[in-house]
A = this chain, B = another copy of it.
Amino acid sequence: MKQINPADAFSKYQPKNITFVISVDKQGKPNGMIAAWHTILSKEPPMMGVAVYKVQNTHKLIEQSKEFVLAIPSGRLLKAITIFGEYHGDKIDKFKMSKVKTKKAHHIKSPLLADATINFECKVVKQISTGDHTFFIGKVVAAYFNDNQKIILSSGRDKNGKRTFCKL
């Protein structure tokens, strides 16, 4: 067991669960990003949280709209993960580019991803500044499950910096 820099230990923490974080702008146009730093927080009431880097477009959108969807990816979303994870939403329309299929949420404006294994609709109840990120805490107001789609996990990046995944 070797002592290493905490930030290096974060990147060694693989395989890791990942999620799409989907939000909307004032006109209702959706944007999305990929985040690993998320967790369930409470069963009763159901709550989840996600840490978003303060300079990200998604950060601004969640602060404005006070809502987000967490969509836990299945193997059908590999291409979308790369597009949502590598491009900036203020420059391209990630939804159009990835041709990802969406569905309307019941209680919020952010769309669900039809091919995600699980979708969580969340309304922000608290936001906490945690260093270079903001931790958005949401009440889960609805959840959806695709029982024929297995969850995939991040397993890091290859030598060329390309994201790698594993399915169990």
**Interface set of A (CB-CB < 8 Å, partner B):** 1-10, 12-17, 36-47, 49, 51, 72, 103, 106, 112, 114, 116-120, 126, 128, 130-133, 135, 137, 140, 142-147, 151, 153, 155, 166, 168
Is the pair B40, A10 in contact by a Cβ cutoff of 8 Å?
A: yes
A120 to B8, CA, bound (A): 12
Is the pair A40, B13 in contact by a Cβ cutoff of 8 Å?
A: yes
Asked, given contacts A49-B135, A137-B128, whether A10 binds B168 with beta carbons under 8 Å apart, the answer is no
| Complex copy number for this chain | 2
A interface: dominant SS: strand
**Min distance, Cβ A3 to any Cβ of chain B, angstroms:** 5
Beta-carbon nearest neighbor of A146 in chain B? B1
* A39 in complex: contacting residue of B4, B38, B128, CB < 8 Å: B38
Is the pair B1, A114 in contact by a Cβ cutoff of 8 Å?
A: yes
For A166, the chain B residues whose CB sits under 8 A away are 168
Is the pair B9, A145 in contact by a Cβ cutoff of 8 Å?
A: yes
* A41 in complex: contacting residue of B135, B142, B143, B155, CB < 8 Å: B135
